[in-house]
Structure 1
């Protein structure tokens, strides 16, 4: 039976609309465009991610690979991701500043979206087919953080200066965060070249790669320099804050510090007070006395 000429015309128009020719229909499929499984695609996502993104989402990507890695990208459903979110939320580790696993659940959705955004950009599936973007993140609860009173700050600093195996370092850390309202990452990343004792400034590199020169008191500037020199900082790129053995500090120092303070001051542990409370305290004080600007 001969083909209907009008059907042939319609077929050619459809092929032209798709950017294809009749010869393309006979060509073998391109193996490089085969829909990868989630486990096959995750290494490409990790390779393209920043160190901070890998640190934040790496654990959740591993959980996704274990639970859903055998499925192709277009086979993962929204219910699969939501079930994984519920599972991770229920099994989240109890921490001093935890929120019953809500942050872990939020990170599962964010980690899944970080996988499907490049998958959409690579052309594996349209944006409307991303299952991760069809699952709502858990609603973020109001933060219980508040500004500390002068008496509470005094008690915290007293404990830091009179207990533990590094009272000089701990007292310096609390003074640095109280004066500058910097984040932990900004303090840990400080180098010798970032300290300007002549103008009493430190250069902070913080969240999102933001950089700012922050004024500090002459006393703090002098103490930071003396601390760095006494603990082996010589080159401009050497880290500023160090243990007594000369090794640069890490975030674990903060964890040990606040655990110890919480053991001596139970209200610190009960309220989940951390270094970020110092930042909030300083910013609130400045805003109330001098305005938001």
Structure 2
């Protein structure tokens, strides 16, 4: 069947409009861009990832390189990734572990991160990703809960009466209880992030989010005294420090909760950690001041959930008011000062 001349004219006009010729449509594909192997490509993925992503997925990327590194990106199959998930059977047992289920999740998530980057770089299409054809293990309900006042008191007593640096440990527990911050937020605090005039700390947390969080004036003064006594001088010097002047690391938290668990067996049995303090504080704020203020107190900025979250934002003064009520100490930014 001969082609319709009018359609040929229309097609030529379209090509001219796009700046193309017939030769462009029949040219050979560019073969100079060789498909890399997984081992060759993983360093590029790691270089483009955030520090947090590298910490989370680095171990699993190493496992992928060891088991599948010799394969090209387009040779890896969903079955290969599912085989890697067997790492859950031999996952390192930790106090807060979930029988390797999280490790299985991370294998899939780490593989998806690799193939998202490969799609973005033009090596594959989204439909070619084997990682996205693997189903993640179903996440179990979170066992964390709010601690009772008695439990929280027992934990604080042990922290303040044992260990080689009770001043540091007491500050850590109080900081997390007052701010409901994550470990990363506390570890990142610098001298410049402490505002003793307004009793605030600037927290840098998940996704690089920044927020000023109220703390009691008492804690603000104690944090400043602690930092200066242990060698913090420059604005960018870390706030929380060992007695020898070195900034603390996440290991301090591991040692702290291990010690508390040795003296309070129920802490070890339930796998209680710093994040439980976040649950404790936010639960109290939600019960007494409502969801909107609890959301602001937590530093949540995502837009998931009911549409009403757009309209129930709370400001810094509302968060300071909740802190003042919880701590029983007036705050300079609180909307009301019932304790004066």
TM-score (normalised: structure 2): 0.78
Structure 1's unaligned 5+ residue stretches are 7-12
Residue 263 of structure 2: aligned partner: 264
Residue 64 of structure 1 deviates from its aligned partner by: 0.2
Matched position secondary structure for 1:232: coil
Distance 2:124 2:160 in 1: 57
Tell me how many residue pairs correspond in the alignment: 279
Structural mapping, 1:1-293, within 5 Å: 20-22=24-26, 24-25=27-28, 30-31=31-32, 33-86=33-86, 88-293=87-292
How far apart in 1 are the matches of 2:40 and 2:208?
30
Deviation sequence 1:48-95 (CA, Å, 0-9, x none): 111111111111001000000111111100010011012x10110000
Q: Secondary structure at the match of 2:96?
A: coil
Runs of 4+ in structure 1 deviating by more than 2 angstroms, as ranges, are 16-22
Q: C-alpha separation between the residues in 1 aligned to 2:21 and 2:62? A: 41
Q: Distance in 2 between matches of 1:53 and 1:276?
A: 19
The structural deviation recorded for 1:278 is 0.3
Gaps of 5+ in 2: 4-11, 13-19, 293-340
Q: Secondary structure at the match of 1:203?
A: strand
The structure-2 alpha-carbon separation of the partners of 1:18 and 1:175, relative to structure 1 and needing over 3 Å to count, comes to farther
Q: Shift in Å at residue 121 of structure 1?
A: 1.5
Cα root mean square deviation, aligned: 2.2
| 1:162-194 C-alpha deviation (Å, 9 max, x unpaired) | 101010000010000001101000000000111
TM-score relative to the length of structure 1: 0.91
